[in-house]
A and B are shown apart, each in its own frame.
Chain A
Amino acid sequence: MNLLEVDGLTVGLERSPTSILANVAFSVPEGKIVGLVGESGSGKTMAALTMMGLLPDGIEVRSGSVRIDGRQLMDPDTMTVERRAGDMAMIFQHPQAALNPTMRVGRQIARVFSLQQGCGRDEATSLAIEMLSRVGIPGAERVARAYPHQLSGGMCQRVMIAMALACRPRILIADEPTTALDVTIQAQIFDLIRDLVEETGAGVLFITHDLAAVAEMCDTVTVLFGGQVMEEGSRDDIFRRPRNPYTTYLLDSVQKEVDPHVIEAGVDFELVGCRFGHRCRYAWEECGGVPDMFSVGAGHRSACFLHAMEENGAGAP
């Protein structure tokens, strides 16, 4: 069953027709890890911030729904996400920047317990220490008394995860959780996230630009470009049978020999229609419109006019 369902999410700059996310939809089932992948500027972090209600000033939600267990979180009047404690928790790319530098880490976690479960200070503290040892921190009592600057990046990320888990979230949003960490530490954090999914049945939205990390971690993958969902499917669909020209381009740019002199233009947010249109080798007039998501296999969908032609029995142009 889907724990999280995001549908028709459109987010843009205030007083501007430009949309940063255009009609974005994805879902996270119980106990699964869903990858949200894309290059810089694809809108993957904006999607996370929207769900957490942390959008920066000047950016507004125009439409869309965010449901957890079928319950609508999007307030139709204010167009903001009103989440309850325990709905979602997020771990950020730079844990040292996300933790409070003036508070001991044990206290930061204990506050979550106090606020959510209303337990007293002593009980909250012992729960915090228990949580720290659960995320594999040796000497949790000692670490609980440390300030963030006294801990390594890997330790801080564990503290963030401990804090996120203290909320007992149904959905864990992990935004590039290991980009700032070394691979041996990354392996430990990945194991930790996998263990948690198994233990608690939480769903994870795993946001990254690193395709290898997606191949390691995710059950299903949603590919974003320029704020549009280009393709979604199982990990095998995306890596072995990609159907969208953008997904193919993305995989090739990492795996194959590329021409060093082609400079990639960024995303053109003024562009109407398919945002990949101006870079796509198949693009033709049709691509001035926005393609629908076409079903191209069981649980495998892709947004491209090529699929409309295939359905009509014509070959690729």
Chain B
Amino acid sequence: MPALLEVRGLQKTFGRGRGALPAVRGVDLDVERGETVGVVGESGCGKTTLARMVAGLTRATDGHIRFDGSVLDGSSASMENRRRIQMVFQHPAQSLNRRMSVGAMLAEPLRLLAGVPRWETTDRIEEMLGLVGLDPAFRTRRPRQLSGGQQQRVAIARALMPDPDLVVLDEPTSSLDQSLRGRMIALLRRIQEIRDVSYLFISHDLGTVRRIADRVAVMYLGRIVEIAPTGELFDDPRHPYTKALLSVAPTMDLDSARERIVLEGETPSPTDLPTGCSFQDRCPLVFDRCREESPVLAPVGDYREVECFAVTHPSHS
């Protein structure tokens, strides 16, 4: 059976000509039913653009997205696929309608996407509020009467209302205090158990992704450079960028004796990429071939893929 979501050769370039900015440069990615795939990377790596293309909010320049067997075409996304793919944004205060009550916001997707008449929405709203851990009395509240954590619970409830198969979550915990993040992750996992929904979970916070994802994709400058099951990726990162990223992420473990790899310089501008591998100027393993040819994702072991000549063809380096 094909995966629920199949992304193939996906590209997005903003603008054209000399100033064209290639945000996503050929991404392949699958999300299975009931699976959580985490996408991590730093500012400008294209993870949010990828999320928006999957959710149908940004049209791809090239490549395609197949959802449950049928190709998603941004221009004419069917009502049914709009219902089945939902999105949760980073800033709940901005993504909720300030003028609507929580109840009205939760009723809207039911009426518009699932064709449920207004008089039948009340029970489903109270059930959903219970699922995300909010009291039914929250129905009449407005966003400004809620804390950040409560607002994000409402945003998650709104996304789940039309009973989607895939929820795209773009940095859903980044605007929350660290002490609230664990609770939000536990909530999302509980919902997944009950509803069997798939998540595409975008975040720059490695600790959060580690706690929720089944598989993790690491993006750098518009491409996935490594993808592996979560445990394998965190225990034994293989791409030099993944290694550096994990080595400098702060940890509360005072006994950790890891060697920090502090990368030199900053991510190069996507409008001015070098020939060959885009990580070459910061890479400790760089050799001649990396400056001439672009690597592509290649299998390493059974479940992992890495985009690096030094890892996939070690004899040449």
Cβ-based interface call for A212 (8 A): yes
Given A212-B250, A236-B254, A264-B179: A183 and B204 interface contact (C-beta under 8 Å): yes
Considering residues A183, A188, A212, A235, which has the most beta carbons from chain B within 10 angstroms of its beta carbon?
Answer: A183
Q: Bound complex: CA of A256 vs CA of B182, how far in Å?
A: 8
A261 touches B249 (CB 8 A): no
Interface size class of B (residues with CB under 8 A): 35 or more
Question: What chain A residues lie within 8 Å of B133 (beta carbons)?
Answer: 260-263
What is the distance, in angstroms, from A159's C-beta to the closest C-beta of chain B? 14
Question: What chain A residues lie within 8 Å of B302 (beta carbons)?
Answer: none
B266 touches A39 (CB 8 A): no
Q: Bound complex: CA of A261 vs CA of B153, how far in Å?
A: 11
Q: Bound complex: CA of A262 vs CA of B183, how far in Å?
A: 8
**Nearest opposing residue in chain A for B207, CB measure:** A212
Cβ-based interface call for B97 (8 A): no
Q: Bound complex: CA of A256 vs CA of B189, how far in Å?
A: 14
**Nearest opposing residue in chain B for A154, CB measure:** B266
Question: Which of B60-68, B80-88, B257-265, B307-315 contacts its partner?
Answer: B257-265
**Nearest opposing residue in chain B for A138, CB measure:** B265
Q: Bound complex: CA of A191 vs CA of B263, how far in Å?
A: 12
Q: Bound complex: CA of A184 vs CA of B245, how far in Å?
A: 6
**Nearest opposing residue in chain A for B190, CB measure:** A260
Question: What chain A residues lie within 8 Å of B148 (beta carbons)?
Answer: 40
What is the distance, in angstroms, from B179's C-beta to the closest C-beta of chain A? 4
A253 touches B244 (CB 8 A): no
Cβ-based interface call for A285 (8 A): no
Q: Bound complex: CA of A40 vs CA of B207, how far in Å?
A: 20
Cβ-based interface call for B121 (8 A): no
Cβ-based interface call for B235 (8 A): no
B149 touches A187 (CB 8 A): no
Question: What chain A residues lie within 8 Å of B249 (beta carbons)?
Answer: 183, 212
Cβ-based interface call for B317 (8 A): no
Question: What chain A residues lie within 8 Å of B260 (beta carbons)?
Answer: 187
Contact with A260, one of B150, B187, B266 (Cβ below 8 angstroms): B187
Q: Bound complex: CA of A50 vs CA of B278, how far in Å?
A: 46
Cβ-based interface call for A270 (8 A): no
B254 touches A215 (CB 8 A): yes
B262 touches A184 (CB 8 A): yes
Question: What chain A residues lie within 8 Å of B244 (beta carbons)?
Answer: 184
Cβ-based interface call for B57 (8 A): no
Q: Bound complex: CA of A263 vs CA of B135, how far in Å?
A: 10
Cβ-based interface call for A213 (8 A): yes
What is the distance, in angstroms, from A185's C-beta to the closest C-beta of chain B? 7
Question: What chain B residues lie within 8 Å of A138 (beta carbons)?
Answer: 265
Cβ-based interface call for A239 (8 A): yes
Question: What chain B residues lie within 8 Å of A253 (beta carbons)?
Answer: 178-180, 182-183
Cβ-based interface call for A100 (8 A): no
B42 touches A254 (CB 8 A): no
B207 touches A184 (CB 8 A): no
Cβ-based interface call for B114 (8 A): no
**Nearest opposing residue in chain B for A153, CB measure:** B43
B149 touches A264 (CB 8 A): yes
Secondary structure dominating the interface of A: helix
Question: What chain A residues lie within 8 Å of B266 (beta carbons)?
Answer: 152, 154-155, 185
Contact with B250, one of A216, A259, A261, A262 (Cβ below 8 angstroms): A216
A187 touches B248 (CB 8 A): yes
Contact with A183, one of B150, B180, B190, B245 (Cβ below 8 angstroms): B245
0/1 string, A225-252, CB within 8 A of B gives 1: 0000000000110011000000000110
Cβ-based interface call for A257 (8 A): yes
Considering residues A39, A154, A260, which has the most beta carbons from chain B within 10 angstroms of its beta carbon?
Answer: A260
Cβ-based interface call for A93 (8 A): no
What is the distance, in angstroms, from B215's C-beta to the closest C-beta of chain A? 20
Contact with B251, one of A184, A216, A266 (Cβ below 8 angstroms): A216
Cβ-based interface call for A210 (8 A): yes
Given A183-B248, A184-B244: A254 and B178 interface contact (C-beta under 8 Å): yes
B43 touches A184 (CB 8 A): no
A40 touches B262 (CB 8 A): no
**Nearest opposing residue in chain A for B42, CB measure:** A182
**Nearest opposing residue in chain A for B249, CB measure:** A183
Considering residues A210, A239, A240, A263, which has the most beta carbons from chain B within 10 angstroms of its beta carbon?
Answer: A263
Cβ-based interface call for B206 (8 A): yes
Considering residues A186, A216, A251, which has the most beta carbons from chain B within 10 angstroms of its beta carbon?
Answer: A216
Q: Bound complex: CA of A187 vs CA of B254, how far in Å?
A: 17
Cβ-based interface call for A209 (8 A): yes
Cβ-based interface call for B134 (8 A): yes
Question: What chain B residues lie within 8 Å of A155 (beta carbons)?
Answer: 266
0/1 string, B180-204, CB within 8 A of A gives 1: 1111101101100000000000001
Cβ-based interface call for B294 (8 A): no
Cβ-based interface call for A258 (8 A): yes
Which residues of B are at the interface with A, using a C-beta cutoff of 8 A? 42-43, 133-134, 147-150, 177-184, 186-187, 189-190, 204, 206-207, 244-245, 248-254, 260, 262-263, 265-266
Q: Shortest 8 CB-CB distances between A and B: which pairs? A: A260-B187, A212-B250, A187-B248, A182-B42, A260-B186, A261-B133, A253-B179, A216-B250
21 A-B interface contacts by CB (under 8 A): A39-B177, A152-B266, A182-B42, A184-B244, A188-B262, A191-B262, A209-B177, A210-B178, A215-B253, A239-B254, A240-B254, A253-B182, A255-B182, A255-B252, A256-B182, A257-B186, A258-B183, A260-B183, A263-B134, A264-B149, A264-B180
